[in-house]
Amino acid sequence: MPTTNYYRFPFLVMVFLTSHVANAQEDPNLVAPTDPLTADQQIKQFHLPPGFEIQLIASDPDIGQPTNIQFDSQGKLWINSTLEYPYPVEGPGRDRLSFMEDTNGDGVPDRIQTFADGLNIPIGVASVHCSVIAYSIPSIDRFIDNDGDGSSDHRETLFKGFGFRDTHGMASSFRPWIDGWIYACHGFSNDSNIEGGNQSSVSMNSGNTYRFRPDGSRLEQWTWGQVNPYGLAFDSWGNLFSADCHTKPAFMLLRGAYYHSFGKPHDGLGYGPEMIDHFHGSTGIAGIVAYDAKHFPAEFRGNLFIGNPVTGRVNRDRLDWHGSSPKAIELPDLISCDDRWFRPVDITLAPDGSLYIADFYNCIIGHYEVRLNHPRRDRERGRIWRLVYTGDDKSAQPAKPMPNLKRSDVKALIERLGDSNITVRVLATNELVDRVGQAAVGPVRKAIQDTDSSPQLRAHALWVIERLSGLTAAEVRSLAMDSEPLVRTHLVRALGTRQSLGDTRATILDRLTQDDHSTVVRAAAEVLGWHVDAANLTPLMVAWQASAREDTHRIHQIRIALRNNLKELGDFPSRAGNFAEADAKSRLLDIALGISNADSAAFVFGVIKSFKDRHPRERDLYHYVCRYQTEDQLGEVYQVARQNTAGDIGRQLEVLRGLYQGIQERGKP
C-alpha cells in the first residue's frame, strides 16, 4: 500500500505561493507593463464624462508621491507626500508636508511650499485653527508656524504609539467635522496602543476608525473592523462613509458597530450592515467623496466617488435610500485612464466644487500582492489632478473661488453656513467656533431664527451655538419642531455631545425617536445608546418595531443602543419582563447575544427552555448560554438541550456544536 510523504506538503505550498506571487506580478493592474509618461502625456489618456475637464495642479519633483490631501479655510491645499514608502526609516525621513495656495485669485492653487520636512511616510493631514495636524511614523503631531513665514517652526506630539509594521494604511484620512472632532482611519495589520490626552491608552488592531480632539485632549474608537479603511467622507446629514479594501468598497459607518475583517468576530449583534453589493473590479480602494455641491451637473450630486488605484479609475455610485439606509447603485466611472500608472489614492471636494485627486503615480500598486523590493516600484513620481465641469449643463454652477474664510467677518461666515458646498460649510462652522468664539453667538442666534434661512444654515448654526454656549431649552423645543428633517437630525446629534441630556432627554424620547423621517430616528437611537437610562428602553423598542425591514442601518443602530443600555443598567431578566409581547421577546433575545455576562445568559436560557421547534439561531443561543451562564447552571443547560432536541439528529448536532464552542471559550475541560 503506498504511503503519503507528508513532508512534501510544505514544499508544494511554497511552490503554489511562489507561482501565485509571480502571476500577481504579471497582472497589468498591479504591475503596469508600460513605461511612465510625463504629465503632459498622461493628461491625454484620461476618459471623462461629457463636459468635464481634468487639469494638472502639481507634479514631481515639487511633490513626492501624495498620500492624503485636504483643503483649509484659506483655500490652501495641504499635501502629504512620501519618498520613503514602503520602508520606514530610523530618524528623520525625506518625506514632507506641503501646501499649495492660489496667488492670482482664480481659486486654483498655483504655488507650492514645503511646510515641514524630515517626515517618515506621512499620511493623514488636517489643517485646523492656527496649526496643521499630520501623521508621521509613529505619531500624530501638531505643526505650527509661529513667525508666519509659511514653514513650521514648532512640532509637538498629540498622540503616540501607532503601529507601523504595515506602512500602507497606518493613520490616514483625517476629516475634521462640525462637532469639533477629527475622524480618521487605522490601517491593516498594525497594533497600536495609543497614548495621549486625558485618558488611558486606546488599543486598536488592524482596520478600525476613530476620532480625536485637535488639541490632543482625547482619542476614542468610533467603529471596529474593516480590513484596511482608507478614505472618509461626511454627507450633509452627518453620515460618515468609508472606503475599504478587501471587504466592500464603501460603508456608511454606524457608531459602535463591528464590520467584517479577516477572521475577526463581531460583538454578538452581527456585523454592521453593508450598502454595496459590487466590488468595482478590485479589492484595493482608497479615497471617497460624497458629492455635496452644485458645480457638477445635478445627476452627479449625492453620488459617491471612490478612488480605485488598482484599476486606475474613480468609480461612481448613486445612492438609493431605504429610510435611513443607503443602497449603492453602480454607475459608469467618473474617471478612467489608459495610463496604467494612474493610481488615485485620495479624493477631496474643493471649496469651488471641483474634485482634487491625489495620484500616487506608480508602475506598481499592492503592498502584499507585489513584493516590496520589486525593482519597478517607483518612489519619486506623483501628481495632483483637478476635475472641473466646463460643459453647458444649466444645472451646474461655475466653479467660483472661495473667499479666504480666515479673514472673513462674522456676517460673511454666517452666510457661508448656508453655502451649497459642504466643504465650505464645514470650514465656516469651525472658523466661527475656533477663531471668532463667543462673539459669534449673538449673530448666529439671530440667523437661526430667520424663517427665510436655508436648512443647511440652520443645521450648521445650531452646532456653532451648542459648541460655544449651549442651545437653550426654548431653542431645543423650536428646532425639534423644525419643518426640515436635516435640522432635526443635526439637533439630536448636537444634543448627544452633552455630558448629560438632562431635560432634553424628554424631547428626544417623546418626539425625535418617533419622528416621521428615519434618519432623525436613527440619530436619536445613536444618542440614546451613549446616554444610558432606563427610560430609553421602551422608545427604542417602539422605534425598532416601527422600522421597515430594509432600513438595516436604523435597525442596527437601535440594536446597538438597546445593547448598551441593557448592559450598563444590568438585571436583564427583570427589565426584559416589562416586554411581554412575543416579538419583543424575540428582539430582546437578539440583543442579549451582544451582552457578555451571566445576567443576559440567564434570560436567554429562560427563553431556550420554552423552545419546542428548531430556532434559526439555536446553535448561537446554546453557544452563548454555555459560554456565559454561571457554572452551577451548566448541568441544567445540558439537560434542556437533550430534552429539546430528542429524536432530531440534525438538531442535536447543531446544538452540540454550539455547546462545544461555548465550553472551549470558557476554558473548561
pLDDT digits 0-9 by tens, 545-558: 999 999 999 999 99
Q: Structure pTM?
A: 0.94
Mean pLDDT by 10 residues, the chain (669 residues): 36 35 62 96 99 98 97 98 96 96 93 98 96 98 97 97 93 99 96 85 95 96 96 99 95 98 92 97 94 99 98 98 99 98 98 98 90 93 98 97 96 98 99 98 97 97 99 97 98 97 94 98 98 97 98 99 97 90 91 94 92 88 95 93 92 95 82
Ranges of each domain in the chain: 18-389, 410-569, 593-666
The answer for residues whose C-beta is within 8 angstroms of residue 140's C-beta and 6 or more apart is 124, 133, 134, 157, 158, 159, 160, 162, 171, 196, 212
Show the CA angle centred on residue 421, arms to residues 557 and 414, nearest 5°: 95
- Contact between residue 414 and residue 457 where contact means Cβ atoms under 8 Å apart: yes
Cβ 109 vs Cβ 77: under 8 Å: yes
What whole-number percentage of the chain has pLDDT above 90? 89
Enumerate residues 6+ apart whose C-beta is below 8 A from 489. 237, 238, 459, 517, 519, 520, 523
Whether the Cβ atoms of residue 405 and residue 393 lie closer than 8 Å to each other: no
What pLDDT does residue 668 have?
Answer: 58
pLDDT at 9: 34
Rounded-to-integer distance, Cα 229 and Cα 225, Å: 9
Q: Which residues, including other chains, have CB under 8 Å from residue 253's CB and lie 6 or more apart? A: 209, 222, 223, 240, 241, 242, 259, 272
Question: What superfamily in CATH does domain 18-389 come from?
Answer: TolB, C-terminal domain (2.120.10.30)
**What does the pLDDT look like over 220-247, one tens digit per residue?**
999 999 999 999 999 999 999 999 998 9
Enter the DSSP assignment of 31.
B
Nearest CA-CA partner of 528 in 517, 541, 518, 516: 541
Instruction: Write down the pLDDT at residue 543.
Output: 98
pLDDT of residue 19: 36
Q: Cell 497594533 appears where?
A: 191
The C-alpha atoms of residue 381 and residue 373 are separated, in whole angstroms, by 17
The CATH code of the domain at 410-569 is 1.25.10.10
257 closest CA partner among 271, 236, 276: 271
SS3 call for 255: coil
Q: Is 61 exposed, middle or buried (0-12, 13-18, 19+ CB in 10 A)?
A: exposed
382, HSE (Cβ side, Cα atoms, 13 Å)? 23
